[in-house]
Structures are given as C-alpha cells and as structure tokens.
Amino acid sequence: MAKKDFHNEMNKVMKQLKANFKRFGKDASIFAKKGEKEIVKASKIGRVQLDIISLNIQKEKLYYEIGKKVAALRTGGEKAAIAVKPYLQKLRKIETNIRSKKREISGIKKVESNK
C-alpha cells in the first residue's frame, strides 16, 4: 500500500509541476515580448537622439563659421549682415530639424507606451 500512496503522491506532484512549468513558460514568453518592445523603443529613441547630436554639431560648426565671417568683415557693417544671412538660414533649418526630431522622440514614446 505504501508504494501506491507514494505513486499517487508523485503523480499529484508531477501534475502540479507540469502546470507550474506551463504557467512559467507563458509568463516568460510575455516578459520576453515586453522586453523586446522596450529594446525596440530604446533603439528608435537612441537613433533619433544621435541624429539630434549630429544636428547640434552642425549647428556649432555654423556658429564657428559665422564668427569667422563676422570677424573678417567686422568693419563692413551691413556687409557682415548680408554675408552671414546664408549661415543664419542654415541655422534655422537645423533648429527646425532638431525640433522635428524631438517631436519624433515624443511620438515614439507615446506610440510604444500605448502598445
């Protein structure tokens, strides 16, 4: 009789273990999918942030070029203003791109958090 009781107990334990492993597998799958989504979100945001850094570097180079141009033409008055106009237009374009990239990051955060 002791052998039958032991077998019955082992069968119960094995059924419980089987159910627990199934549940664990499902939970692990859910966590993996959530982790994958977070990694994708972080990589998208990181890519856009690198674009912003690149634009900021371009902006700094333009500031340098404007400074050189103004220093070379500092006695010209109006000539200096006309000479730096193309640089200022480039700066505005870069600033617009930076704002656009920041909005893109906000959009990624909203879209990914709604999923």
Q: Which two tokens stand for residue 72?
A: 């070379």
Q: According to the model, what pLDDT value does residue 76 have?
A: 62
Give the chain's mean pLDDT. Answer: 85
Write out pLDDT tens, residues 61-77: 999 998 888 877 777 66
Residue/partner pairs of 42-47 with CB below 8 Å, 24 or more apart: 44/108, 44/112, 45/105, 45/108, 45/109
Instruction: Read off the pLDDT band of 112 (50, 70, 90).
Output: low
Compute the Cα dihedral for 28, 29, 30, 31 and give only its sign: positive
Q: Where are the domains of the chain?
A: 2-114
DSSP letters along 81-113, please? Answer: HHHHHHHHHHHHHHHHHHHHHHHHHHHHHHHHH
